[in-house]
Structure 1
Amino acid sequence: MNIHAVSRFLGSLDDIAAAAAPFEILEELSKVLRTFGLRHLLITGLPSPSKGPWQQEILYDGWPQEWIEHYSASEHFFHDPCALHSRYAGEPFLWSELSRDLMTARQLRVMDEATEFGLRDGLCVPVHLPLRGPSVITVAGERIEISEEDLPTVEMVCVQAFRALRRIHLGDNESHHHTLTDREREVLTWVAAGKAAEDVACILGISRFTVERHLANVREKYDAANTVQAVVEAVRRGEIRP
């Protein structure tokens, strides 16, 4: 990723974090996704059948109206292989990466019917946050153009948008989050520089367990799904320097 792309990416993260209304978040997210050919967007929780209608967990429905109506009427949600895989996946995945040979006839029906509504290719970004059930940002289009090296960028923007939408939806305020301690900032700075936990422990003269505990605290404070996202958020807030 060149310096101009990095600058645009960080600018998108800042704009999403500063957004005061859902449409501002979604507009910035959509702008990023369109560069990869991703036109349709659904952001939703992934509840179990016992939790009630899954539609109650939708944060944003940007799927074609005809498809979402057909999808709901056909009760596709609990047979959708992308939704099922997103419950356990730790990283973004392309729809094409799911093996059709391992799908049931019901799951194949979901995927085949999606293509009839213009959702021929797609990407799922699972979101697993502390003390919350799994969620997913699903984006799709007729044809997507995204490389493996682009996936972390797309994931960060999607998760940032998810967190911002929940903040507004739940009435949260970013100022409620604690700032980092000096030690947490120090540990995160070394991690941002590419050091592994063992290296940071040696440099700072502390145990690896202590390093991991500090990183876990940072992820919790920032509501981050992983340490990479925590680093990006710390840079955005000015807690550490890139």
Structure 2
Amino acid sequence: MNLKVFATLTDALARIDAAVTPAQVLEELVGILRPFGFRHLLITGLPSPQVGPWQREILYDGWPVEWLEHYLASEHFTQDPCASRSRLVGQPFVWRDLSPKEITTGQLRVMGEAAEFGLRDGLCVPVHEPRRVPSVVTAAGERIELLPEDVPILETVCVHAYRALRRLNGGGGQSPQINLTDRERQVLTWIAAGKAAEDVACILGISRFTVERHLSNVREKFDAVNTIQAAMEAVRRGEIYP
């Protein structure tokens, strides 16, 4: 990763960690999302439509008022392809990647009507945690400018902000103590410096498989959705230094 980008993200995550109110967390998240064209944001749990009103799971409602009213009145939650996919997958996805051949007429209607309210494209970042219903951070706008390499970066910020909101709303405790091994620190430090796994393998004189195994262990220790988030968390905890 570009070191300038890494430093910017580290600062953003540090500010999210330092936030003492949900509004401060959201301000940081919106500030990261806005340059990509995202103008609307919804953070919510995704309970099964059969268990009751889903809107009780909303952590933040930044949808256009008219769209949310229409969405609720039309009972679109049961047909929303983004909600359905976010319950099933753990990887972020862009709305434009939803194949018309794989979604129903009712689901196409939901997306078409969303576009009429200014939500023409968006990004969904599913969040799956033990003993909780799936959740999603969804950002949308009229026109977004998003490269594939931007997605894991935004995923990191969105998941971090989601967990901060849960914590500030009484849904989480203190971060547990985590210790990396010396080799895990070495591998992660080089990755954070922008080196690819193959390069790290050559630098440290180990196989790429071993590098990937160390990275997998680090992601698991930090409960990180990707290596970027793991590196950010390691910097935040003082395990590595950028």
How many residues align structurally? 231
CA contact (8 A) 2:185 2:239 kept: no
Aligned residue number for residue 163 of structure 1: 163
Q: Identity percentage over the alignment? A: 55
Aligned residue number for residue 237 of structure 1: 237
Aligned residue number for residue 172 of structure 2: 172
Q: Which of 169, 175, 184 pairs up with 1:187?
A: 184
Residue deviations 1:116-160 (CA, integer Å, cap 9, x gap)? 111011111111233333211110001001111111111111111
1-side partners of 2:171 and 2:220: how far apart? 18
Aligned residue number for residue 153 of structure 2: 153
Provide TM-score, normalisation by structure 2.
Answer: 0.83
1-side partners of 2:177 and 2:11: how far apart? 23
TM-fit CA distance, 1:50: 3.6
CA contact (8 A) 2:10 2:235 kept: no
Aligned residue number for residue 87 of structure 1: 87
Aligned residue number for residue 100 of structure 1: 100
Residue deviations 1:61-93 (CA, integer Å, cap 9, x gap)? 100011111111111112101111112223211
Aligned residue number for residue 131 of structure 1: 131
Aligned residue number for residue 6 of structure 1: 6
2-side partners of 1:164 and 1:105: how far apart? 37
Aligned residue number for residue 48 of structure 1: 48
CA contact (8 A) 1:86 1:126 kept: yes
1-side partners of 2:50 and 2:205: how far apart? 49
**CA gap 1:234/1:135 in 2 versus in 1, 3 angstroms:** same
Aligned residue number for residue 67 of structure 1: 67
In the alignment, does 2:114 pair up with 1:114?
yes
SS in 2 for 1:124: strand
**CA gap 1:221/1:190 in 2 versus in 1, 3 angstroms:** closer
2-side partners of 1:120 and 1:162: how far apart? 23
Aligned residue number for residue 36 of structure 1: 36
Residue 64 of structure 1 aligns to which amino acid in structure 2? P
- Unaligned segments of structure 2, at least 5 residues: 191-195
**CA gap 1:227/1:8 in 2 versus in 1, 3 angstroms:** closer
TM-fit CA distance, 1:109: 0.8
**CA gap 1:60/1:9 in 2 versus in 1, 3 angstroms:** same
2-side partners of 1:47 and 1:188: how far apart? 38
TM-fit CA distance, 1:2: 4.4
TM-fit CA distance, 1:173: 4.1
Residue 124 of structure 2 aligns to which amino acid in structure 1? C
SS in 2 for 1:87: helix
Where relative contact order (Cα < 8 A, 6+ residues apart) is larger, the structure is 2
SS in 1 for 2:169: helix
2-side partners of 1:170 and 1:220: how far apart? 24
Residue 88 of structure 1 aligns to which amino acid in structure 2? L
1-side partners of 2:2 and 2:52: how far apart? 46
Measured on the aligned residues, the alpha-carbon RMSD in Å equals 2.8
2-side partners of 1:203 and 1:5: how far apart? 28
2-side partners of 1:241 and 1:55: how far apart? 41
TM-fit CA distance, 1:170: 1.9
TM-fit CA distance, 1:168: 0.8
2-side partners of 1:180 and 1:107: how far apart? 46
